[in-house]
Amino acid sequence: MVARVLAQFVRGFAMGASDVVPGVSGGTVALILGIYNGLITAIGRGSKALGRLLKGDIGGFVDGLKSVDWLFLMPLLAGIGSAVLILSGIIESALMNHAEAMAGLFFGLVVGSMVVARALLKEPNSTHALIALAVGVVLFFLLGFQSGPTSDPGPFLLVLAGALAICAMILPGISGSFILLMIGMYAVVLNAVDERIISEIALVGLGAIIGLGLFSSLLNHLLDNYHDTVMAVLLGLMLGSLRVLWPWPNGVGIVGHGDVETIPGTGLELPNGAPWVLPIVLGIAAAIVVIAVSRFAQPAEDH
């Protein structure tokens, strides 16, 4: 039993590490490690129990909790939480001190994740390509209107961020950090975890619980019945999000909390004298690593 708990904690740590940065999703890592189906089952049972509680069915809630494999789930959650706590400070410091290099790294991670998500299409066709392109173009232009990362979010935005991020963690191919980055909340949540701002962490956690309760069943239904369409939409989201990850923006940046300033404007520029070698090298390396790791996903899922 001890060995199983320790192994599950390590798997959770790997999932948490992947979700701290906008690259490989926790869902993809779960797929690689062969625990995706067990994770979805545990989440589904937990969300059903939560739904019974909200309806006032205490007995059904207790029975639902008993049906969850807690020996599977708790060490996994502990590993995810430990990774977030340990790595958030490192990532935040790197964002502030090496913004261009980190943007290049994240850019490559998302490009690699797009390749992973594309490979998850069961029967790809031109319709899926058009959906991905349309979603990507719309998001690209919408992101051009944002003023930059949020610096002082209210409780509603923190709850919403938690709900959206946890939904992304369930899906292979897209990470929770990617969603936070896309809505301008990445630096805020990272800072809250690193500085142990309990009120903000609690609101994000509340959003995660609400998100699991409301959306996990819906997401599972959509994946079961419209798998390729969902993955095409995810591809489009990742494609459009590359705007905020471009290492040399004349505007939207990936940092913007506390003393970190954002540059006004929303245009995109070439390096033009700015450091360019390291961001490009890191981007290419990150994409290669993501694609290489994903090659183990299918065999692991079959176990």
| Long-range CB contacts for residues 51-54, cutoff 8 Å, separation at least 24 | 51/213, 54/213
pLDDT at 258: 42
Hey, what are 81's tokens?
């939480």
288 CB-near residues (< 8 Å, 6+ apart): 112
Hey, what are 63's tokens?
């029975």
pLDDT at 262: 36
Over the chain (303 residues), what is each successive 10-residue block's mean pLDDT? 86 83 70 75 79 82 87 90 84 76 83 82 91 90 62 83 81 72 79 86 88 74 84 84 72 44 50 76 88 63 42
Handedness of CA 249, 237, 46, 208 (dihedral sign): positive
User: 171-191 pLDDT, tens per residue?
Assistant: 766 677 777 877 778 878 888
Count of domains in the chain? 1
Q: Which amino acid is at 232?
A: A
User: 33-92 pLDDT, tens per residue?
Assistant: 778 778 877 887 887 787 787 788 888 888 888 888 888 889 998 998 898 888 877 877
Q: How many CA atoms lie within 13 A of 82 on its CB side?
A: 13
pLDDT at 224: 79
Alpha-carbon distance of 276 to 225, in angstroms, equals: 44
Q: Are 116 and 31 in contact (CB under 8 A)?
A: no
pLDDT at 22: 65
Q: Are 151 and 255 in contact (CB under 8 A)?
A: no
Tell me which residue range forms the domain holding 201.
2-302
pLDDT at 110: 81
The pTM of this model reads 0.68
Label residue 31 exposed, middle or buried (CB < 10 Å: 0-12, 13-18, 19+): buried
pLDDT at 218: 76
Listed in sequence order, the DSSP H helices in the chain are 2-20, 26-32, 36-54, 58-67, 70-97, 99-119, 126-143, 155-170, 176-182, 186-194, 198-225, 227-245, 277-294, 297-302
pLDDT at 79: 92
